[in-house]
Amino acid sequence: MGGGVRDLLLGRKPKDFDVVTNALPDQVRQVFKRRCILIGRRFRLAHVRFGSEIIEVATFRGHGDETGGGDRLTVDDRIVRDNVYGAAISEDVWRRDFSVNGLYYNIADFSVIDFTGGMTDLESRTLRLIGDAHMRCREDAVRILRAVRFAAKLDFRFHPDTEAPIREFGDLLQEVPPARLFDETLKLFHGGHALSSFRLLRQYGLFGQLFPTTESLLAREESDFSLRLIERALANTDARIAEGKPVTPAFLFAALLWPPLQQQIRHRHEKGLPPVSTVEAVARKVIEEQIHRVTLPRRFSAMTKEIWTFQPRLIRTTKRQPGRATQHPRFRAAYDFLVLRAEAGEEEVREAARWWTEFQENHPTTREKPAGKSGGAKRRRAPGRKRGDKKGAPK
């Protein structure tokens, strides 16, 4: 059921398939025995090993009891549904998010089961929340981001009943844990449709809920340099994903947070502080402010800061020990970011970007080291030398 059925009907290759059944998780495990493990706490799922594949099997979800025992209210009147098991597709479908994701393929008779008008919505390329759209968005504000992601991915338009709460309830995203918003941000921008997702987020006033400082600067910037840089970075990300190349959240956040970084750097330059120390200090501050809204794990934030702090070095180092700079593990990512700045129209770095490009073309061994990996073999001590002995020192 779900996205796999939807993609098949749209003529796309499904990424995976979701299997649902009226069997309880323990019953699934009894059938598949050692090939099955159960995961999850609130709602248990069965992972069944089939050759080299893992097939996820879920039990139908239900409504709860007739008195509404399956739902509860939070102190701010948001409705939260507790997961309960159901016995039939007719119950399960109403717990799904969008009508086009609520289609079931029955392998018994090779039919598609549609309780919510998903087939009609597929034909009209419409994205519609199942049930009361206002209630569904209040239950879980992340559905708003999921709506944007699917609309961008499928190139669908929003049904009017779905569009209204997307505009109305964006501020509920402030109540979502930053770690969860990080996961959703990666789904939006690392799913192959980053640029269209970004434009939809801004159209509905949602990008500012994720990156408030960046959005405020984009809205009042006289030139469109920052917007060009971000959109070019997202377009490049989409191209890399389409080509099967790796992408990293560190580079994504380096681009998305570049406007606030630059703003604070300008303020510190007015105080006469040196460029390198300025970038290091501001980088810490910008990330510390951002993680209150969308977190950035330390393994990525460290690389983001290195991409930023390497920028002055790339401009300053040209024609002076360039080979040494290329040995830095973040050189490639920092160079790519420098080129991104030049392509977005930053005249101050255009010459440095051109110089480094020509240098790598003339020294091809510097081009192959992937960003994020340390280069060069580990240095070994000469035979007979002990740790701490100086080279050439008398024994």
How far does Cα 262 stand from its chain's mean position?
A: 23
Confidence of residue 375 (pLDDT cuts 50, 70, 90): very low
- Could you report the per-residue pLDDT of 154-178, keeping only the tens digit for each? 999 999 999 999 999 999 999 999 9
Residue % of the chain over a pLDDT of 70? 84
Q: Considering 16, 82, 132, 183, which one is annotated as catalytic?
A: 16
Residue 374 is predicted with a pLDDT of: 37
- Could you report the per-residue pLDDT of 230-282, keeping only the tens digit for each? 999 999 999 999 999 999 999 999 999 999 999 998 887 777 766 556 788 89
Tell me the average pLDDT of the chain.
86
Q: Is residue 244 included in any domain, yes or no?
A: yes
Token pair of 394, please?
Answer: 């008398």
Active site residue 97: yes
Q: Whole-structure pTM over 0.85, yes or no?
A: no
Q: Is residue 113 included in any domain, yes or no?
A: no
Structural domain of residue 211, as residue ranges? 205-369
Q: Considering 92, 97, 114, 121, which one is annotated as catalytic?
A: 97
- Distance between CA 42 and CA 44 in Å, rounded? 6
With contact defined as beta carbons under 8 Å apart, do 319 and 362 qualify?
no
Q: Is residue 334 included in any domain, yes or no?
A: yes
pLDDT score of 392 more than 80: no
- Distance between CA 157 and CA 249 in Å, rounded? 28
Pick the more confident residue, 201 or 89: 201
Mean pLDDT of all residues in 43-62:
90
pLDDT score of 395 more than 80: no
Q: Between helices 275-290 and 298-317, what is the axis angle to 10°?
A: 160
What is the DSSP pairing of strand 36-39 with strand 45-50?
A: antiparallel
Residue 272 is predicted with a pLDDT of: 73
Q: Is residue 230 included in any domain, yes or no?
A: yes
Pick the more confident residue, 377 or 112: 112
Exposed / middle / buried, residue 77 (Cβ in 10 Å: 0-12, 13-18, 19+): exposed
**Residue 25 vs residues 2, 42, 56, 65: alpha-carbon distances, Å:** 19, 12, 11, 20
Pick the more confident residue, 74 or 304: 304
Q: Is residue 239 included in any domain, yes or no?
A: yes
Least confident among 64-78, 99-113, 317-331, 342-356: 64-78
Confidence of residue 119 (pLDDT cuts 50, 70, 90): very high
Residue 204 is predicted with a pLDDT of: 98
Q: In the sheet where 53-59 sits, what is the strand order?
A: 19-21, 53-59, 45-50, 36-39
Pick the more confident residue, 170 or 94: 170
Q: Is residue 51 included in any domain, yes or no?
A: no
Cβ neighbours, 10 Å, residue 57: 20
pLDDT score of 153 more than 50: yes
Residue 369 is predicted with a pLDDT of: 47
Asked whether the CA dihedral 77, 79, 82, 87 is positive or negative, the reply is: positive
Mean pLDDT of all residues in 365-372:
50
Active site residue 16: yes
Mean pLDDT of all residues in 132-147:
96
With contact defined as beta carbons under 8 Å apart, do 122 and 10 qualify?
yes
DSSP E strands, 67-188? 71-73, 79-81, 103-106, 111-114, 126-127, 157-158
With contact defined as beta carbons under 8 Å apart, do 240 and 246 qualify?
yes
CATH number of the domain enclosing 317: 1.10.3090.10
Q: How many structural domains are present in the chain?
A: 1
In the chain, count of helices (H) and strands (E)?
19, 10
Q: Is residue 360 included in any domain, yes or no?
A: yes
- Could you report the per-residue pLDDT of 309-325, keeping only the tens digit for each? 999 989 886 566 777 88
Active site residue 224: no
Q: Is residue 299 included in any domain, yes or no?
A: yes
Confidence of residue 128 (pLDDT cuts 50, 70, 90): very high
With contact defined as beta carbons under 8 Å apart, do 260 and 269 qualify?
no
Q: How many CA atoms lie within 13 A of 267 on its CB side?
A: 8
Pick the more confident residue, 200 or 61: 200
